[in-house]
Structure 1
């Protein structure tokens, strides 16, 4: 394949290895607020909303969430390769951001205004449709968005820096999804369907504003040309692109780490609201305090970990974050009903360190892999790499609610009761497994897999024949 990877000339486009302007990092990163609010709002609330507000049996609710995510098996690779080959004066990626912003925001509103249709199966069918719409909108925006940093810069440490900016907005979006939403629901009445509809509409507006801000803020960002049109069929091109990506051993290692890690994160997310009110006997206001602590810790830790990675390497910084996450998960096994606020806040500070490192280091390493592949092959495949990476995120996001839904059904959870009425016994055990034991096991597996990752800064500093395949 012939490469056409040179950047499109622009008067103020930053050079490939130059330090990126603060405004560009801030503008691109701002889109992560909407993405984080969208993703965390869905993953953290959808099972509780479906099972306890819409009164869909937990196992059925988990199955619906899982099946809707299977759409990404088709859409992720299609959007990834499409954005790699798309040509536009606005760049390969930005047109996707425009339409994805509209669809993603609309889908959030539709999900949390889902009506109860008299039968749980009809309600589940409606929920499946709007969750599928959400999956498509999220894909159209997020895959091109996450591919953009690989085009913006080829500087090894600047890749970490731009993702540190993103991490700040991820944290703020998570704060709204994990704390702000809970406070509003507590105030409006967390067991009332109307309260959830109001929250859905407010969040949809915030998501749209954030995603469109990133679209306009990246208008003058450096971007690269794709290969353009080809005589090959779309299916042939897609198979070739992903065949090349799947042969990259560094990438395979990284997504295996992320799969294991995110399995723990997503089982925790699906069960966490239940765990707080059922097992700990705490309300959403206390959960909001936890969320604020996590956000503050994440914002403080992200730049510190970026600086630390310059001295000990990205892999070791990732180890630090992953190990912290295992300790955090295990700590919930020591919690009990009426857990003191100081203990909850301490855990929030701990997970903030883990969260910032897990996200920033993983995304920086992904960008390294993309640029190493481009140097070796002369072909830009940002979309293809990001599509597979994103699919792993979405697959775990589907498996988490599925596992927790079946665990709650097996434990005898009664979804006809208000969800803040403690049910104890097997329900508490199922929730503890979901937020502590499983995440700890998955975290250890992720650390073992990370030990085999080999791509380092030396591979970009003159040893380019080493480890780039």
Structure 2
């Protein structure tokens, strides 16, 4: 898969970049698969399980949540494993190859769940497929996200690398946010075959993009494992004593709980509360994909001017205002209003993703300079675990809230418009995201690692 990126889309931040544009683009291609995988599961899985597979919403939300408990073990193990391998080649790339295959396969399995007669059989099948998804995502993403910290020691070059990554995430927004809803709208959002085609097509794209990242990073700069690698419990203690990392982890946890809740409630809110069809998501996905691309260089420039943490706070403030505005949503919501919210959220997403990952690589390199030990895998393992575990809370919260509100999975979603269901969905799409966004801003205000600290 080849994607041509405008040379001016992410302007070089230093006169002679340490990382070639070819490697940046190749590595960043993996984000296309990661984002399609994560966003599609976050956006579609609960709705698919409840409205198509006819699984009780409480059971569906709990099932998604429980599969993430496995990450408590898998993420640090994979991170530690990729840190400790001794090789004259990259420690990380073999994981990318295996993770690519498992990730694509899991996506296909989830969205081609057989319609067994028993609800429990359907739930059991999805559980196994979700476990494969969890394992494949971990094997690919933990080493993948560790690689930029090895590629360069330059403070602003890291923002540039993740700027390229954001380009592919924007493309993923088009695929997951526009193409998938278009297929579902055309073939029937409650039809099993619609999700079959989404699963097959998405699985192929996910695998291909991740394989491009594996292939393209063969000549990327990498680091070697230390001669004496500390024991895993020593590593865990060290990581959790890093105040910069713990604060960043808290920020991400808050934000992602809100984002996951909003994603899980999104389709239900559109159909039940706004009383609109999925064509709204198609138009919104197109706008988000395009606008996100435009915001990438803007976010990078803003961060150079005011700093990474302040740029991150600005993005979070925009997010809080937009999600809080969903409380004003009513049946018959105009298309322009829905798209405007989506466009504003694109800026927040760009700032969130680029700044968070750039700050993470700063933390990793700052720690390596202080201790002489490279811990990219361990740090990214806990970062990745935070991403996946918090994303599991979204379907759990929304599933339980819908169950308590009396949601009947055997009825078409748009037929259930009670005040209780509206409040259950507002909990997921507005109340929790806004509260978590404000808490993340509070945590960000205390982030102290600056560029000058990395020069010491």
Q: Which bracket does the TM-score occupy, shorter chain normalised?
A: over 0.9
TM-score (norm 1): 0.92
1:429 is aligned to 423
Deviates more, 1:119-128 or 1:247-256: 119-128
1:291 is aligned to 285
1:135 is aligned to 134
Shift of 1:87: 2.8
Check conservation: 1:172, 1:295, Cα contact below 8 A: yes
1:87 is aligned to 86
Shift of 1:290: 1.2
Check conservation: 2:254, 2:437, Cα contact below 8 A: yes
Check conservation: 2:34, 2:141, Cα contact below 8 A: yes
1:341 is aligned to 335
1:4 is aligned to none
Cα distance in 1, alignment partners of residues 246 and 276 from structure 2: 41
Question: C-alpha offsets along residues 70-99 of structure 1, whole Å, 9 cap, x if unaligned?
Answer: 111110000000000113344000000000
1:418 is aligned to 412
2:247 is aligned to 253
Cα distance in 2, alignment partners of residues 425 and 118 from structure 1: 33
Question: C-alpha offsets along residues 276-312 of structure 1, whole Å, 9 cap, x if unaligned?
Answer: 1111111111111112222222111121111111111
Query: What RMSD, in angstroms, separates the aligned Cα atoms of the two structures?
Result: 1.4
1:172 is aligned to 171
Deviates more, 1:170-179 or 1:325-334: 170-179
Check conservation: 2:87, 2:224, Cα contact below 8 A: no
TM-score (norm 2): 0.95
Helix, strand or coil at the partner of 2:231: helix
Cα distance in 1, alignment partners of residues 334 and 358 from structure 2: 37
Cα distance in 1, alignment partners of residues 270 and 88 from structure 2: 49
Shift of 1:337: 0.9
Check conservation: 1:40, 1:177, Cα contact below 8 A: yes
Deviates more, 1:113-122 or 1:374-383: 113-122
Cα distance in 1, alignment partners of residues 88 and 373 from structure 2: 20
Which structure 1 segments of 5+ residues have no match?
A: 1-16, 231-235, 465-469
1:112 is aligned to 111
Helix, strand or coil at the partner of 2:415: coil
Check conservation: 2:407, 2:416, Cα contact below 8 A: no
Helix, strand or coil at the partner of 1:70: helix
Check conservation: 1:81, 1:384, Cα contact below 8 A: yes
Equivalences for 1:426-465 in 2 at 5 Å? Answer: 426-461=420-455, 464=456
Check conservation: 2:108, 2:200, Cα contact below 8 A: yes
Shift of 1:460: 1.9
Question: C-alpha offsets along residues 118-145 of structure 1, whole Å, 9 cap, x if unaligned?
Answer: 2212211111111001100000000000
1:282 equivalenced with 2:276 (yes/no) = yes
Shift of 1:18: 4.6
2:77 is aligned to 78
Shift of 1:421: 3.3
Paired residues, number: 442
Cα distance in 2, alignment partners of residues 210 and 437 from structure 1: 35
1:66 is aligned to 65
1:157 is aligned to 156
Cα distance in 2, alignment partners of residues 156 and 450 from structure 1: 19
2:206 is aligned to 207
Question: C-alpha offsets along residues 12-66 of structure 1, whole Å, 9 cap, x if unaligned?
Answer: xxxxx95311111111111100000000011111100111111110000011101
Cα distance in 2, alignment partners of residues 201 and 190 from structure 1: 16
Deviates more, 1:416-425 or 1:303-312: 416-425
Helix, strand or coil at the partner of 1:71: helix
1:330 is aligned to 324
Check conservation: 1:297, 1:348, Cα contact below 8 A: no
Check conservation: 1:101, 1:211, Cα contact below 8 A: yes
Which structure 2 segments of 5+ residues have no match?
A: 1-15
Question: C-alpha offsets along residues 253-293 of structure 1, whole Å, 9 cap, x if unaligned?
Answer: 00001111111100001110111111111111111111222
Helix, strand or coil at the partner of 2:410: coil
Helix, strand or coil at the partner of 1:74: helix
1:188 equivalenced with 2:187 (yes/no) = yes
Helix, strand or coil at the partner of 1:397: helix
Helix, strand or coil at the partner of 2:418: coil
Cα distance in 2, alignment partners of residues 239 and 439 from structure 1: 34
Check conservation: 1:86, 1:228, Cα contact below 8 A: no
Cα distance in 2, alignment partners of residues 18 and 118 from structure 1: 58
Check conservation: 1:413, 1:423, Cα contact below 8 A: no
Change (3 A) 1:117 1:452: same
Check conservation: 2:258, 2:436, Cα contact below 8 A: yes
Check conservation: 2:155, 2:451, Cα contact below 8 A: yes
Shift of 1:228: 5.8
Deviates more, 1:337-346 or 1:92-101: 337-346
